Amino acid sequence: EESVNSSASSYVDNSYLFLIGGIIVMLMAAGFMCLEVGLVRSKNAAMQSMKNVVLYAVAGFMFWLVGYNMAYPGSTILGGLLGTTPVIWSGGDLEAMSDAGYAPASDWFFQMVFVATAASIVSGTVAERVKLWPFLIFTAVLTGFIYPVVVSWEWGGGYLDSAWAFSDFAGSTLVHSTGGWAALMGALIIGPRTGKYFGKQVNPMPGSNIPLAGLGTFILWFGWFGFNGASQLAAGTVTDINSVAQIFANTNMGAVGGTLFAMITTAVLYKGKVDATMVFNGALGGLVSITAEPLAPSMGASVLIGGVGGVLAVLTVPILDKFKIDDVVGAIPVHLVCGIWGTIIVAASYGNHIMPVEIDGELQTSYVGQLVGVLLTGVFVSIASVIVWTALKFTIGVRASEEEEMAGMDVSEVGLEAYPDFTNA
Amino acid sequence: EESVNSSASSYVDNSYLFLIGGIIVMLMAAGFMCLEVGLVRSKNAAMQSMKNVVLYAVAGFMFWLVGYNMAYPGSTILGGLLGTTPVIWSGGDLEAMSDAGYAPASDWFFQMVFVATAASIVSGTVAERVKLWPFLIFTAVLTGFIYPVVVSWEWGGGYLDSAWAFSDFAGSTLVHSTGGWAALMGALIIGPRTGKYFGKQVNPMPGSNIPLAGLGTFILWFGWFGFNGASQLAAGTVTDINSVAQIFANTNMGAVGGTLFAMITTAVLYKGKVDATMVFNGALGGLVSITAEPLAPSMGASVLIGGVGGVLAVLTVPILDKFKIDDVVGAIPVHLVCGIWGTIIVAASYGNHIMPVEIDGELQTSYVGQLVGVLLTGVFVSIASVIVWTALKFTIGVRASEEEEMAGMDVSEVGLEAYPDFTNA
Amino acid sequence: EESVNSSASSYVDNSYLFLIGGIIVMLMAAGFMCLEVGLVRSKNAAMQSMKNVVLYAVAGFMFWLVGYNMAYPGSTILGGLLGTTPVIWSGGDLEAMSDAGYAPASDWFFQMVFVATAASIVSGTVAERVKLWPFLIFTAVLTGFIYPVVVSWEWGGGYLDSAWAFSDFAGSTLVHSTGGWAALMGALIIGPRTGKYFGKQVNPMPGSNIPLAGLGTFILWFGWFGFNGASQLAAGTVTDINSVAQIFANTNMGAVGGTLFAMITTAVLYKGKVDATMVFNGALGGLVSITAEPLAPSMGASVLIGGVGGVLAVLTVPILDKFKIDDVVGAIPVHLVCGIWGTIIVAASYGNHIMPVEIDGELQTSYVGQLVGVLLTGVFVSIASVIVWTALKFTIGVRASEEEEMAGMDVSEVGLEAYPDFTNA
């Protein structure tokens, strides 16, 4: 009996982690579709369905064409801020064991489904008034350039990793905040849906299919085990598989905390009634919050980290409304706000350092270092997004006409109705 | 070439079984949600969606806080009937190989998704009139105490295992009947939906979204491969992986039998028409029936075992109605009745012993032993459930007012509608 | 450190590939259900839901009873055209390592879910007017006899494999075209839905639940990673797992190409509007197209192969309508036309041979050889299907009466409505 795994066996085990994790994360695209389609009005449901399929395709195409090699560049310029090898990715020799310890294409696939997640986040916020083609162009830029640059700073071994010991295990900042900032800028530039705000009054525009949103929530929760679990990046040793297992347990507890805390918060706020959509977003907020560090915390700490995320997901909604930022599905509270929270609190798992001090020659993760990562990502993604959204606004236009919006995007952009057999209320 | 797997490789393989099986079973929570939401009326669909998300969170929380260690206790009292170590579970050293042969957290995760299944069963039966908070309190007690005690008797190596050689591979009794008894007691104490029964007349209240119920059925069928397959508890040897594979095949054949037999039964009963919901419940009844022993039977026997389950799932419905027991989704026929059937018939796979005789020093599984397990579980879960439901009834109340019920739980408890854009028939 | 995997470890890894791939493909049954239910009118949605569950059960039953052993026969007659061992399949000794290098039941399970796919294809085309029982009888013949015979010619090592070096990695022809031919014959013999065609006018009958169709598309896309990936048939070596990973990446790119090309095609054809259902079918057409050879092409070539499939999926629809072939969900364009295209283009990956020349003693895959496989499959499946559909037509009848069709199959065959709470438009 050997207690060490053979390298070939480890190689298979590691690759399986990426492949299985990858398809599970791929299914998150379906989860986002269900969630978003359930939360838009029925006159925009076909558009939202279709848009989510197409954005996943665009993300895959761009990440193959340019994104992957920008995220994991051979060399960089500008002090590690920009990769210099934006070429088409290919998998190499099928018969050789890659030095990385896993099948190259399994890694590509796993990274690709992450970029699709970032794009899905934007899709929900700007729903019901953005036009299809400008949205897709934005998606192409986000997934081919903006996201890969951010990823190169950290997972690509660039600036944030080396200079700040920034730590973001599975992407609270790199994936979720990136999507969140891009969504926020989109919401600001595109503007709210017609009729959403009258002076100080907020006109509720309830989602048309709450069960579908619930299903989407569960699919996303399911997908998150791949998202966080496979971000361990290896499963072929005892320590690695123990870690993957613990990540599964902690990820679940983060969502548990988010769900329960959001439920209680909404019950307190709304006189005992529990808003289902807030509970769904609470679960997702908990998941985003635990994503930056799903291994180190205890399970009890995971409940708390997720729980704070759940509360934030609920409380941020009225704040956005106050600023007339119209986020159709609540993606900004969930992905941006909880992404920031989850990233900052990582430092609590690594000795509570305020500044990134060096110990035994190794730079330590710290609150300030985490904040720097959050801010740098925020500034870069926001500026890049503003440039792209604005360029689109003043060229092909980003927003459907008021007439089209009233008729619904299904009629004006898709040419068919989502639910033609049913009478509208 | 070695024909023996290294221990590290086995350890990884075993842990993968729990992790992959676990997330697949986790998705069953979504399956239950779809099934139940599809079978309630539209005015309760948001409530049912939300309740299913929250109950999964509550189950995870309670099983971490107390349930797991009660189910697998360090020591017991009362002749093995009660574990004595109800403390918070934690996963231990990530770098050490656990003696159990798999990552500790992978086992916790796998066990946790089972308890959530038991809770989901109750949710469907008592739908459309139970209030949210008492339901959640019941769920907490069920998942934190009632279910773990039952599990400790068998999978925890307690009384049923040692004294009766009770055999329940993946939980026809421990999971499904437990949920079923709790649901039955709930239905009795809460009472039927207003207007369901007038004297001897049964007023049909058809489900509002049959396709969603169909999707739920398929997701549950999918999840069952994890439920039964990973209950082999190991996959790192030739015998184990052969067994897991055979369990997959037999589990499928059980569902095949349930589907086909239920279809034929309903066609015979209803003049050639095939009630879709009965077919769905037939599939699920077949799955529950094969769950107590999905490895030993031949594939043909699996079809028959599942087939009888499918017939039972159909025939029990009018019997419940006769007693004015209002089970909204048919969970009692599927999980309780088929759970009993599946458990009893296990003895046919182990020599058809009537009594638990000892052969070569080993106690044999028998019809009487199986019956004892079924009855002990039934008595304990029923009494415990009656106590909790009754305590809730006479304190905070378990049931919505008739007005609230008429308006629908969505309006009265959730504060939003499931399908606000559509005109109600 | 060893770079060779032990045989036991490989055996486990290989079996895992079948088991995980198998359940993922199993979920495609749910994907087909969602897609088809979303694309029929609401009055047929319960029937379509139920039919998809039952057909999956029938397929599993028949493939156990006779199909598997006909597809992989011990011996053949008629020059390899017909297997001679149509007996019940069983898995054999659980404790022995099968010579095949994987658990026998894992292979049975994986093959079984493929046959269910072929049956699901037919279900969509003939929806909304076929009666339940004749459809199920056809399904039984298709899955028990027609499909297994076709598979025996190639994957069973029969005539097409040995005489023509026919190459069909995961079944563009064997699974998808087979289903497509059977569907086409069904559509011809059963005839179009009442009111679909008036002279040269085509009366659109839009699908009733586009979001559900979108979800189905994503579930199918997800399932395709199992469909193509696990068709590598082994994962226990470096080369195998590298190949599985590359297949995942290429499969995704095929779908990407199908989605994007279909979107552009429909935008061009319909003045800028992007028909959501065409995009969904474009994705699926891309997937079918890459299925015959998902390993050899580069990722860029995969985009193109899938892209052509996406265009074909869109352009074939009006052609079918011209011939008054009423294919409710577009299964013939997607599975038959793209299946043919994907099969023919395989030769481009193997040296562009026109004829099956022999090189170094090995027969080469060629355009003509691929065409022979396509035609032989087409002729055989079509003739067999015509015989069965016709026999059904003149005995029990295949088609609902006009009255039943107008009322909807839900009322006439299922006895309940899919969405009873909503007012019909």
User: For residue range C186-217, what is the model confidence (pLDDT) as tens digits?
Assistant: 999 999 999 999 988 999 999 999 999 999 99
Contact flag A260-B421 (C-beta cutoff 8 Å): no
Q: Does B28 touch chain C (CB under 8 A)?
A: no
Helix (H) or strand (E) holding B273: none
Query: Which pLDDT does position A86 carry in this prediction?
Result: 64
Residue B422 to residue C422, Cβ atoms within 8 A: yes
Report which of residues A322 and C88 the model is more confident about.
A322
List chains adjacent to chain C, taking adjacency as at least 3 C-beta pairs closer than 8 Å.
Answer: A, B
Report residue B285: phi and psi, to 5°. Answer: -60, -40
Task: Quote the mean pLDDT of chain A.
Answer: 95
Structure tokens at C150: 């076709």
- Whether residue C39 lies within 8 A of chain B, CB to CB, comes out as no
Q: Which of A224, A414, A235, A421 is nearest to A334 (CA)?
A: A224
Asked whether the beta carbons of residue C33 and residue B260 sit closer than 8 angstroms, the reply is no
Q: Which of B9, B218, B248 sits opposite C22 (nearest CB)?
A: B248
Distance from CA of C148 to the nearest CA of A (A): 29
Cα nearest neighbour of C239 on chain A: A95
When pLDDT is cut at 50, 70 and 90, the band that residue A424 belongs to is: confident
- Whether B218 and C27 have beta carbons less than 8 Å apart is answered as yes
Q: What is the per-residue pLDDT across C4-36, written as a single tens digit (0 to 9) for each?
A: 677 888 999 999 999 999 999 999 999 999 999
Query: C396 in contact with B at a CB cutoff of 8 Å?
Result: no
Q: Which residues of B touch A299 (CB under 8 A)?
A: 64, 88-91
Mean predicted lDDT score pLDDT of chain C: 95
Q: Which residue of B has its CA nearest to C37?
A: B211
End-to-end CA distance of chain A: 68
What pLDDT was estimated at residue B77? Answer: 78
- Do the Cβ atoms of C358 and C364 come closer than 8 Å? yes
Distance CA C17, CA C37 (A): 30
Residue with tokens 């159909």: B314
Query: Residue B299: which of C12, C58, C90 has the nearest Cβ?
Result: C90
Could A22 and C248 be called an inter-chain contact, meaning their C-beta atoms sit closer than 8 Å?
Answer: yes
Per this entry, what is the length of chain B? Answer: 425
Enumerate residues 280 to 299 of chain B having a beta carbon within 8 A of any beta carbon in chain C.
Answer: 280, 283, 298-299
**Whether residue A170 has pLDDT greater than 50:** yes
**Would you say residue C74 has pLDDT above 90?**
no
C242 and chain A in contact, CB less than 8 A: yes
Contact criterion met (CB below 8 Å) for A414 and A45: no
Give every CB contact of residue A124 below 8 A, 6+ residues apart in sequence: A32, A35, A36, A39, A183, A327, A328, A329, A330, A331
**How far apart, in Å, are the Cα atoms of A140 and each of A60, C303, C416?**
9, 16, 46
| Residue C201 β-bridge partners | C198
Cβ neighbours of B94 in A, within 8 Å: 239, 242-243, 246
CA distances from C354 to A319, B185, B410, C168, C364 (A): 67, 72, 65, 17, 10
The verdict on a CB contact (< 8 Å) between B26 and A225 is: yes
**A138 near A388, Cβ under 8 Å?**
yes
CATH class of the structural domain B7-87+97-414? mainly alpha
Contact state of B46 with A225 under an 8 Å Cβ cutoff: no
**Residue A14 contacts B where some CB pair is shorter than 8 Å:** no
Asked whether the predicted pLDDT for residue A1 surpasses 60, the reply is: no
* Dist CA B415 CA B417 (whole Å): 7
CB-CB: which of B4, B8, B45 is closest to A3? B8
Separation CA C164–CA B7 (nearest Å) = 46
Nearest chain A residue to C302 by CA: give it: A61
Rounded CA gap, A262 and A90, in Å? Answer: 44
For C25-61, what is the HEC assignment?
A: HHHHHHHHHHHHHHHCCHHHHHHHHHHHHHHHHHHHH
Range 129-168 of C in CB contact (< 8 A) with B: 132
pLDDT score recorded for residue A52:
98
Neighbors of chain B with 3 or more C-beta pairs under 8 Å: A, C
- Residue B98: enclosing H or E segment and its boundaries? none
A212 touches chain C (CB under 8 A): yes
Res. C1 pLDDT band, cuts 50 70 90:
very low
Any A CB within 8 A of C13 CB: yes
What is the mean pLDDT of the segment spanning C417-421?
95
- For residues B85 and B68, the answer to whether their CB atoms sit within 8 Å is no
Q: Does domain A7-414 have CATH number 1.10.3430.10?
A: yes
Q: Which of B15, B219, B256, B280 to mutate to test the interface with C (most CBs of C within 10 A)?
A: B256
- Is the Cβ pair B249, C53 closer than 8 Å? no
Q: Is C22 touching B (CB cutoff 8 A)? A: yes
Contact B19 A256 (CB under 8 A): no
How do C358-359 and C201-202 pair as beta strands? unpaired
pLDDT per residue, tens digit, chain B (425 aa), is 345 677 888 999 999 999 999 999 999 999 999 999 999 999 999 999 999 999 999 999 999 999 999 999 877 777 777 777 667 888 888 989 898 899 999 999 999 999 999 999 999 999 999 999 999 999 999 999 999 999 999 998 889 999 999 999 999 999 999 999 999 999 999 999 999 999 889 999 999 999 999 999 999 999 999 999 999 998 989 999 999 999 999 999 999 999 999 999 999 998 889 999 999 999 999 999 999 999 999 999 999 999 999 999 999 999 999 999 999 999 999 999 999 999 999 999 999 999 999 999 999 999 999 999 999 999 999 999 999 999 999 999 999 999 999 999 999 999 999 999 998 87
Q: Any CB–CB contact under 8 A between B423 and chain A?
A: yes
pLDDT, average across residues A364-378:
97
A41, A207, A210 member nearest B45 (Cβ): A210
**Which ipTM was obtained for this model?**
0.97
- The pLDDT, as a whole number, for residue B4 is 65
Query: Confidence class of residue C79 from pLDDT cuts 50, 70 and 90?
Result: confident
Q: Is the pLDDT of residue A416 over 90?
A: yes
Whether B110 and chain A come into contact, CB under 8 Å, resolves to no
B404 to chain A, any CB pair closer than 8 A? The answer is no
Q: Is residue A211 less than 8 Å (CB to CB) from chain B?
A: yes
Q: Is the pLDDT of residue C251 over 50?
A: yes
Verify whether the Cβ–Cβ distance B50 to A246 is below 8 Å: no
Mutant choice from A299, A349, A421, A423 vs B, greatest count of B C-beta within 10 A: A299
Tokens for A331? 């993606």
- C61 in contact with B, Cβ within 8 Å: yes
Nearest to C222 among A27, A212, A415 (CB): A27
Residue type at A153 in one-letter notation: W
Confidence of residue C3 (pLDDT cuts 50, 70, 90): low
C206, amino acid identity: P
Query: Of C423 and A391, which is predicted with more confidence?
Result: A391
Confidence of residue A4 (pLDDT cuts 50, 70, 90): low
Condensed to tens digits (0 to 9), the pLDDT of residues B304-315 reads: 999 999 999 999
Average pLDDT over residues A142-167: 93
pLDDT reported for residue A55: 98
Amino acid at C147: Y
State both tokens at A94.
């099928």
**Are residues C275 and A415, on separate chains, in Cβ contact within 8 Å?**
yes
- In this predicted structure, the answer to whether residue A99 has a pLDDT above a threshold of 80 is yes
Burial of C351 (0-12, 13-18, 19+ CB in 10 A): exposed
- Residue the block writes with tokens 């199993």: C26
Element (H, E) at B82: strand B82-83
Residue C253 contacts residue C304 (beta carbons within 8 Å) = no
Domain topology for C7-88+99-195+237-414? Ammonium transporter fold (1.10.3430)
CB contact under 8 A, A30 and C245: no
| pLDDT mean over A134-144 | 98
SS3 per residue for chain A:
CCCCCCHHHHHHHHHHHHHHHHHHHHHHHHHHHHHHHHHCCHHHHHHHHHHHHHHHHHHHHHHHHHHHHHHCCCCEECCCCEECCCCCCCCCCCCCCCCCCCCHHHHHHHHHHHHHHHHHHHHHHCCCCECHHHHHHHHHHHHHHHHHHHHHHHCCCCHHHHHHCCCCCCCHHHHHHHHHHHHHHHHHHHCCCCCCEECCEECCCCCCCHHHHHHHHHHHHHHHHHHHHHHHCCCCCHHHHHHHHHHHHHHHHHHHHHHHHHHHHHHHHCCCCCCHHHHHHHHHHHHHHHHCCCCCCCHHHHHHHHHHHHHHHHHHHHHHHHCCCCCCCCHHHHHHHHHHHHHHHHHHHHCCECCCCEECCEECCEHHHHHHHHHHHHHHHHHHHHHHHHHHHCCCCCECCHHHHHHCHHHHHHCCCCCCCECEC
